[in-house]
Amino acid sequence: MKTFLLAGALMAASTGLAQAGTLDFVAFGAGTYGSSISLGGATITNTSGGNILVGAGAAGAADGFCSLNPTVFNCEADTEIAFSSAVKNLSFDIDGSHSGDAVALSIYGLGNLLITTLNFSTPDQTVDLSSYGAITRLLFDDSSTGAGVGYSTFTFDLVNQVPVPAGLPLMVGGLAAFGALRRKKA
């Protein structure tokens, strides 16, 4: 029994720890950029064709951004955030909302499958997506009639994906441990 517990503990210890990540807009620098920016393992795209505003002018968030409407200087444009690898335990803030502001958030998982769509029309808030598992992409459909909203304080953990070739030695090691246990009992 002790050998079985030791083998289980060794296998559990050999798995990788989750790596924390953030989207750091402060280090990126305040200003108005083109329709797409890349930082911290994600690409942010203004899918409405306008620019991206980073910093304190982005709906009041120094550590965030908003997508600018291409015809009017406000934060009422659609946005896509595509992560370079799957993330989990994702949370962020919606900032600077006013009466009439509304955003539909579509969450996509592995295989680019739509997990769910959430609607937000309430004032500033923290959005916790930790219950949705592995996320690869977010699509913000902004239907605001106020001044629009910004997004900030993105935190997440990277999903450890173990490819089959790397998982094979783990499986073989586990089977060998079970074989050794069985042989010892006999």
Look at residue 5 in the predicted model and tell me its pLDDT.
43
Of the listed ranges 58-67, 84-93, 124-133, 177-186, the one predicted with least confidence: 177-186
* Dist. CA 18–CA 167, nearest whole Å: 17
Mean pLDDT of 52-69: 82
DSSP track, 108-141: E-GGG-EEEEEEE-SSSEEEE-GGG--EEEEEEE
Look at residue 127 in the predicted model and tell me its pLDDT.
96
**Of all residues in the chain, what percent carry a pLDDT higher than 90?**
48
Mean pLDDT of 161-173: 64
The phi and psi torsions of 10 (rounded to 5 degrees) equal: -65, -40
Q: Is the pLDDT of residue 11 over 80?
A: no
- Greater model confidence, 75 or 169: 75
Look at residue 102 in the predicted model and tell me its pLDDT.
92
Q: What is the pTM of this model?
A: 0.76
Mean pLDDT of the chain: 83
Look at residue 13 in the predicted model and tell me its pLDDT.
42
Residue type, 91: S
Q: Is the pLDDT of residue 61 over 70?
A: no
Distance set, CA 152 to CA 1, 6, 91, 156, 182 (Å): 50, 44, 9, 12, 55
* Dist. CA 10–CA 148, nearest whole Å: 51
